[in-house]
Amino acid sequence: MKHGEKIIKMHFIVHELFEDPGALKDWAISRGYEFSFSRVYLNEELPEDVGELDLLIVLGGPQSPNTTQIECPHFDSNAEINLIRRFIKKEKAVLGVCLGAQLIGEALGATFEASPEKEIGAFPIFLTEAGKSSKKLSHFPSTVVVGHWHGDMPGLTDKAKILSFSEGCPRQIVEYSDLVYGFQCHLEFSPESIELLITHSGEELDSLKNGRFIQQPDELQKNDFKQMNELLFVFLDKLVEHYNHQQTT
């Protein structure tokens, strides 16, 4: 946190124990920001008052935006979509990861879709021309290996810009506005978060073992997450800087 800047107040929506904030929490701690949680798998409530909050981060999960509460009692897709809309309306910063990215699209009227390929592991993403010209991604190399664990991808609004894609998925980083971003990929992965996912995904990994972009546990555990974490941290610093600038103009 730079001298003279206000302390950012963040809120995480966490859908499952095994889909934790990973390096996102490390970033918040290292910057001295305040953060709170709605761990919906523990039936914790979503925030009612968004006025004091600055940044909403909606994490991933095995659900999809059309998962019903009959199918998953602790996941209220409509409530989360409405909360995202409130943050956007109040010109707050919003980042969605995986399922979170798809929920942002839904909040803006864009329906999620199945990705051409399921991706689990660490695979390259490639910046588009829009990505190469994006100030928030100016520190990204044109090609970089990042984390993945998905079968769907976010919908696109008329104003959305695709900033990066992978061989298996055409929508990896989506800019919905200069304060609202969807990351289908997982730059927040850490060794600890990968272990949680492996522990809770044995059947899924076994069923997908012949998949083109599927890594098995021994490969997943060998991945180095440091570079993707560092890229994420700089992106978030830029997002917060832009948010602070918007608040003072």
Mean pLDDT by 10 residues, the chain (249 residues): 67 97 97 97 96 96 97 98 98 98 98 98 98 98 98 98 98 98 98 96 92 96 97 98 90
Instruction: Provide the CA 174 distance to its chain's centre, in angstroms.
Output: 10
91 inside domain: yes
The burial of 3, by beta-carbon neighbours within 10 Å (0-12 exposed, 13-18 middle, 19 or more buried), is given as exposed
Cβ proximity of 171 and 156 under 8 Å: yes
Count structural domains, the chain. 1
The answer to whether the CB of 228 falls within 8 A of the CB of 187 is yes
Tokens describing residue 201: 């995904």
CATH code of the domain in which 77 resides: 3.40.50.880
CB 128 within 8 A of CB 170: no
pLDDT of residue 5: 58
User: What is the spatial distance between Cα 48 and Cα 210, in angstroms, rounded to a whole number?
Assistant: 45
Task: Say how far apart CA 238 and CA 201 lie, in whole Å.
Answer: 34
pLDDT score recorded for residue 7: 82
The pLDDT, as a whole number, for residue 249 is 78
Could you count the other beta carbons within 10 Å of the beta carbon of residue 7? 11
Give a yes or no: residue 1 inside a domain. Answer: no
Its domain, for residue 148, covers 9-248
**Residue 210 belongs to a domain:** yes
Q: Give the separation between CA 59 and CA 188, rounded to whole angstroms.
A: 10
In a domain, 241, yes or no: yes
* Sheet with 9-14, side-by-side order of all strands: 34-39, 9-14, 55-58, 93-97, 180-183, 173-177, 161-166, 113-127, 143-153
The two structure tokens encoding residue 122: 């660490």
Residue 4 lies in a domain: no
Q: Are strands 93-97 and 34-39 parallel, antiparallel or unpaired?
A: unpaired
Residue 2 within a domain: no
Within a domain: 3: no
Measuring CA to CA, which residue among 53, 51, 103, 94 is closest to residue 76? 103
Taking the model in full, what pTM does it have?
A: 0.96
Q: What are the tokens at 24? A: 């996102």
In a domain, 62, yes or no: yes
